[in-house]
Every structure is written in C-alpha cells, then in structure tokens.
C-alpha cells in the first residue's frame, strides 16, 4: 500500500490562537533555537517527511493580536540551524517571489540543500501584504503577482541547473577545482527579470530543491500544477478535497507532468488524547484562551472588511464578503461557513481560531487516524500537513500517539528509507536541463 506523506507546519506558539497561554507552552523561549530543536527532533523521531516553515514579511497580523502566523523565525536561517541538529527530515521554507530576487533565492535554497545533504524545499508564495517594509506603496493585483512568480521560478530553476553535475573536478595536479566550461551563463531576459548567471555554487544534492506551492485560486493552481511537487491546501470538506486533488492532478497532466509527481497535502489540526472526553476537555481549554474582540479584528483583517458593528450571535452578512470572483480561497471558506452553513460571527471566530479553514479534529489516536485514513483512501490527498494545535505537548501527542497508530495501520513509514527530501517523497532527482556528462552517465 502507498504511504501517506506527513509534514508539519511549525508554529512554535501553537496553531490554535492563544494556545501559548497554556501552562508549559514554553512561549518565553520563542524565538530561540533550543525549544525549536526539541520540536524538530520529535518530528524526526516520528519519521515525518519534512518540517515546514511559513513566512510573512510584515507584522500586520501580529499587531492585531494574532501570533500564530508570524515571522519570528526567518525560515532560511532557522532551517540552516535545524539542518545541523537533524539528519534526515526535510526542511521546507517559504520565500516570497514578490519580495525577493531570483538570484538570492536560488543561492539560499541551494546552500541549504548542500548544508543539509539534500533536504531543502521551497514554498513559493506571492505576497498580499508587507510591501511598505520594502518601500513599495501598494501590492500588485494577484494575476500580476503570479505572473512575476512564474517567471521567478523559471529563473531560479535555470540557475540551479547552471552548473553541470560534473563541473567540480578537484584536479589537484592541474590546480583546477572546477571546469568553467561546464558552467552556463543563463542570460535570462524576461518581463520581470534580467539575470546573467551562472549561480556561484555547484548544483545541489537534489539537483533542484523540492518546490512547494499553496495557492488555491485559478492563477495559484496554474503555478502549482506547473512546477510544484507539494501542494498545500486548506480543505475542510472531504468531497471538495477529492475534487480539488483531482483538478490539481488533471492540471498537472495537461502540462505534461506525471500526476504522481504532484503531492496534494491538505492541513489538519489534530487534538489527540487518550479518550474522547479528554480531547474535548483540551479543546474547551484551548477555546477558553480566546479573546472574542481580538478574534473579530482578526477576521475583519482576513476579509478586509469592517465588522465592528455586527452582533456576535448573527452570521456575517453575505455583502460583507468580497464578490465571489475576487475572494481568496481562504475567504471563500469563511464565506461558505457563514453564508451557507450559518455560523454566527462568534462561532466563526472560534472556528478560525482553531483551524484557519483547515480540517480540525479532536479525539483519540484511533479516531483521528480513522479520519485521515478515510480521506487518504477516498483520494482526497497524498498525505497531511500536521498543524500542532498547541506546543510542545500537543505535538508530542501527535508524534508519539497518532503517528504510531498510522504506522501500525501500514499507512506511514516506520523508518526513513532514503536520505533526501526527494527520496522521502518518492521523487527522482531531476536531470539538468542543460545536459552534461554526469547526467548522460546517470541515464545509462
């Protein structure tokens, strides 16, 4: 039976809003390395495919009291530190194509891939916010951001291939470390970037670090299906998840890719306990930390709408949402919950606080595993991105109770069988698009 892929979205202050208020959360230690290393070690002992760090380059949500999605751990420096404290687990970090340059990004990821022995992955995002930190007044429209992103990824991939695999020769007699004939200036000229190249470091162990993408809108899915190996997505509903996965794989096939090269990995927020009653108790405790008015501000921020006049026990009226065609995928989930399912503003605040639109489940390891198995076997996904509701205990329970249950069912590996992130994902090392003797040899 095929195995699930399991990664974890590392939120050191916990995925459930304000879960850091729980005694024992080690919230004082954020953003230090010691606490994070403990999380990384737990994940590696559970044999997860990868640690995943999101990133935002602004403090807007933090100023609204939302510490969940924060920039406290800059992904590349953090993952480099964790590379030294782990051996096998993949290391996926987010860098925005709106706020970086392709040459920097190619270097950062290539360096991480070298330092970690082939464990690097890049979550490609476009940014809707944070521009003023870079002296830019307003964010471009989504279509424009994704066009830049598509070109950005092309440049980065060419830079990663700009050294042939056999360019480093270490010829002591001739005193030549590399053969410059085996490097290529890429001389890229596009609508957004002009990049000379080559990169200033050798092709990395994975050839190209793993590409990850999480857009669920039209342009987001176009980019993901064209380039990504992992698609992250928020899918609270089984049937819609099945349809999303099928659509993503069909789009990949249309672009000449093998559907198996594209792993669809929705998020899940599991509260795991020894009994249903204990799980419900923990869930109630987590909810008790919420500040409802702070939650109102956070949802207003997500929807970019003023909600200050609304009654807490009424649903958000449909007209407060952006028009259907312009909703982001996450706004679409909140709209469905409010307008179609009739959740009141208060209920939506609690729901968002625990799940941010992802699937949320509280139960024993067996009941949570039942749900995951059901989704996996229904074709809704190739695995899950585990969002730990609270740290470190909530994550420890995921690693020591839930993952072993999945292993016992034959749904997840018990040992790493390879060394690179591509190995964990069952993906081949890509050939160098510019060819080269080493590739020719590998192909024989």
> Binding site for FMN: which residues?
55, 94, 146, 216-217
CB neighbourhood size of 151 (10 A): 17
Q: Pick out the residues of the known binding site.
A: 55, 94, 146, 216-217
Query: Among residues 163 and 376, whose Cβ is nearest to ligand FMN?
Result: 376
Residue environment code for 268-289, b if the CB has 16+ CB neighbours within 10 A, otherwise e: bbbbbbeeeeebeebbeebbeb
Per DSSP, the residues of 230-256 read: EEEE---SHHHHHHHHHHHHHHHHHTT
Q: Which residues bind ligand FMN (CB under 6 A)?
A: 9, 54-56, 94, 125, 127, 214-217, 220, 232-234, 267, 328-329, 385
Cβ proximity of 152 and 116 under 8 Å? no
Which residues have C-beta within 8 Å of that of residue 217, sequence separation ≥ 6?
142, 328, 329
Query: Among residues 240 and 288, whose Cβ is nearest to ligand FMN?
Result: 240
Closest contact distance (angstroms) between CB of 64 and ligand FMN is: 16
Cβ proximity of 330 and 302 under 8 Å? yes
CA-nearest of 9, 118, 88 to 53 is: 9
User: Residue holding tokens 């480093």?
Assistant: 168
- Whole-number Å distance between alpha carbons of 344 and 312: 7
Strands 194-195, 210-213: parallel, antiparallel or unpaired by DSSP?
unpaired
Which residues have C-beta within 8 Å of that of residue 212, sequence separation ≥ 6?
52, 92, 121, 122, 123, 124, 228, 229, 230, 231, 232
Identify each DSSP E strand in 120-197 by its residue range. Answer: 120-125, 168-171, 176-178, 188-189, 194-195
Report in angstroms the alpha-carbon separations of 8 from 38, 101, 413: 14, 27, 15
Query: Among residues 197 and 357, whose Cβ is nearest to ligand FMN?
Result: 357
Closest contact distance (angstroms) between CB of 325 and ligand FMN is: 12
Q: Around 264, how many Cα atoms within 13 Å sit in the side-chain half-sphere?
A: 27
CB neighbourhood size of 175 (10 A): 6
Query: Among residues 9 and 376, whose Cβ is nearest to ligand FMN?
Result: 9
Query: Among residues 8 and 164, whose Cβ is nearest to ligand FMN?
Result: 8
What residues pair up with 269 in beta bridges, in sequence order?
Answer: 360
Closest contact distance (angstroms) between CB of 437 and ligand FMN is: 38
Q: Around 152, how many Cα atoms within 13 Å sit in the side-chain half-sphere?
A: 24
- Whole-number Å distance between alpha carbons of 36 and 31: 8
Closest contact distance (angstroms) between CB of 318 and ligand FMN is: 19
Query: Among residues 60 and 329, whose Cβ is nearest to ligand FMN?
Result: 329
SS3 434: coil
Query: Among residues 355 and 385, whose Cβ is nearest to ligand FMN?
Result: 385
CA-nearest of 163, 199, 195, 161 to 180 is: 163
Closest contact distance (angstroms) between CB of 385 and ligand FMN is: 6
Query: Among residues 188 and 334, whose Cβ is nearest to ligand FMN?
Result: 334
Closest contact distance (angstroms) between CB of 142 and ligand FMN is: 7
Closest contact distance (angstroms) between CB of 233 and ligand FMN is: 5
User: Residue holding tokens 């990664």?
Assistant: 7
Closest contact distance (angstroms) between CB of 145 and ligand FMN is: 9
Query: Among residues 240 and 417, whose Cβ is nearest to ligand FMN?
Result: 240
Closest contact distance (angstroms) between CB of 232 and ligand FMN is: 4
């Amino acid at each position: 039976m095929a195995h699930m892929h399991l990664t974890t979205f590392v939120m050191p202050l916990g995925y459930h809003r304000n879960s850091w208020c729980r005694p024992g959360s080690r919230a004082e230690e954020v953003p230090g390395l010691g606490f994070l290393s403990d999380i990384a070690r737990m994940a590696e002992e559970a044999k997860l495919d990868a640690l995943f760090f999101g990133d935002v380059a602004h403090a807007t949500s933090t100023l609204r009291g939302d510490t969940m999605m924060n920039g406290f751990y800059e992904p590349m420096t953090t993952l480099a530190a964790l590379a030294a404290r782990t051996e096998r687990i993949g290391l996926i970090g987010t860098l925005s194509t709106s706020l970086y340059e392709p040459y920097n990004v190619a270097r950062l990821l290539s360096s991480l891939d070298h330092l970690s022995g082939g464990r690097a992955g890049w979550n490609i995002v476009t940014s809707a916010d944070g521009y003023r930190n870079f002296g830019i007044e307003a964010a471009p429209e989504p279509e424009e951001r994704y066009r830049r992103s598509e070109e950005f990824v092309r440049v980065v991939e060419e830079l990663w291939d700009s050294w042939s695999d056999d360019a480093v020769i270490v010829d002591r007699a001739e005193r030549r470390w590399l053969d410059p004939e085996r490097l290529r200036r890429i001389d890229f000229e596009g609508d957004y970037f002009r990049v000379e190249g080559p990169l200033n470091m050798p092709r990395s162990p994975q050839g190209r670090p793993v590409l990850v993408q999480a857009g669920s809108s039209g342009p987001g899915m176009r980019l993901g299906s064209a380039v990504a190996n992992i698609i992250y997505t928020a899918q609270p509903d089984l049937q819609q998840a099945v349809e999303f996965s099928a659509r993503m794989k069909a789009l990949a096939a249309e672009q000449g890719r093998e559907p198996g090269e594209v792993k669809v990995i929705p998020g899940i927020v599991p509260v795991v306990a020894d009994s249903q009653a204990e799980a419900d108790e923990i869930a109630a405790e987590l909810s008790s930390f919420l500040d409802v008015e702070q939650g109102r501000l956070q949802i207003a921020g997500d929807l970019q709408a003023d909600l200050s006049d609304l009654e807490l026990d009424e649903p958000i009226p449909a007209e407060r949402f952006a028009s259907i065609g312009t909703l982001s995928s996450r706004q679409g989930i909140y709209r469905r919950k409010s307008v179609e399912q009739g959740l009141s503003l208060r209920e939506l605040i609690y729901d968002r606080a625990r799940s941010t639109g992802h699937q949320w489940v509280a139960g024993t390891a067996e009941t949570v595993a039942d749900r995951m198995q059901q989704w996996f076997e229904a074709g809704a996904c190739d695995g899950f991105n585990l969002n730990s509701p609270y740290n470190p205990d909530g994550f420890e329970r995921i690693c020591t109770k839930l993952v072993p249950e999945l292993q016992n069912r034959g749904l997840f590996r018990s040992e790493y069988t390879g060394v690179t992130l591509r190995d964990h994902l069952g993906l081949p090392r890509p050939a160098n698009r510019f060819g080269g003797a080493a590739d020719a040899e590998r192909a024989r």
